[in-house]
Amino acid sequence: MQTFLNALIYHRFTNRVGKTLAVLGILACATTAAHAAVDEETLFVFNTFSFLIWGALVMWMCAGFTMLESGSVRTKNASMICLKNIGIYSIAGLAYYFLGYNLMYVDVGSVIGSFKFLYGPSGDEVAMLAGNEAATAAVVKSGYSTMSNWFFQMVFVATTASIVSGALA
């Protein structure tokens, strides 16, 4: 009797898994057929927007870690934990602005990046912000704004520093 029940349970499980995989396969085929050609400008806008939105969500991660750390200390120390995390976020953001972004992205032929002192938008981005149409095409062709990429990477650097400092809370 026990082997019959085990076989029945196994049969029901594999039947459900098979049906689920079949539905997922049909949905995957349907979505790939529905993709339409997207122009470069729309792709640029949505990629840049997604960098900013996901960066804002990562900033909320830092707030969550701050609340986690505040809950693990005495009430009298909670304000110092909040101040510590705000200070760490500020220092990490400035350090990434001054040196980190340029070290992160390598130049052609280099190994660890360039030691330029400050992050700055590319010449094409500055020209685009000034209204130059020729520069706009070059920036749009890159797929996303480097300024939004800088923000996205910076919030990860700052959140990582906040997580590491949480071990000292």
Verify that 45 and 24 share a domain, yes or no: no
Question: pLDDT-derived band of residue 110, with 50, 70 and 90 as boundaries?
Answer: low
Look up the pTM and report it.
0.69
Q: Could you tell me if 162 and 88 are in contact, meaning their C-beta atoms sit under 8 angstroms apart?
A: yes
Verify that 7 and 66 share a domain, yes or no: no
User: For the chain, where are the alpha helices, taking DSSP H only?
Assistant: 2-33, 40-71, 78-95, 101-104, 123-129, 133-142, 146-165
How far CA 28 is from CA of 14, 16, 18, 37, in Å, comes to 21, 18, 15, 18
- Mean per-residue pLDDT over the chain, rounded: 80
- Encode pLDDT of 87-98 as tens digits: 999 999 998 888
- Give me the pLDDT at residue 90, please: 92
Verify that 149 and 71 share a domain, yes or no: yes
Verify that 74 and 113 share a domain, yes or no: yes
- Give me the pLDDT at residue 109, please: 61
Q: Which tops the pLDDT comparison, 82 or 134?
A: 82
- Give me the pLDDT at residue 125, please: 77
Verify that 21 and 46 share a domain, yes or no: no
The 8-class DSSP code of residue 131 comes to T
Verify that 4 and 45 share a domain, yes or no: no
Q: Which of 91, 92, 88, 116 is nearest to 103 (CA)?
A: 116
Question: pLDDT-derived band of residue 127, with 50, 70 and 90 as boundaries?
Answer: confident
* DSSP string for residues in 31-56: HHHT-----HHHHHHHHHHHHHHHHH
Verify that 14 and 29 share a domain, yes or no: yes
Domain with 12 in it? 1-35
Verify that 78 and 141 share a domain, yes or no: yes
Verify that 77 and 26 share a domain, yes or no: no
How far CA 127 is from CA of 37, 105, 123, 130, 132, in Å, comes to 28, 22, 6, 5, 5
Question: pLDDT-derived band of residue 169, with 50, 70 and 90 as boundaries?
Answer: low
- Tell me how far apart the alpha carbons of residues 87 and 92 are, in angstroms, rounded to a whole number: 8
Verify that 71 and 3 share a domain, yes or no: no
The domain tally of the chain equals 2
Verify that 123 and 70 share a domain, yes or no: yes
Verify that 135 and 73 share a domain, yes or no: yes
Q: What is the dihedral of CA 76, 77, 78, 81, to 10 degrees?
A: 160
Q: Could you tell me if 134 and 142 are in contact, meaning their C-beta atoms sit under 8 angstroms apart?
A: no
- Encode pLDDT of 148-167 as tens digits: 888 999 999 999 998 888 88
Q: Amino acid letter at 158? A: A
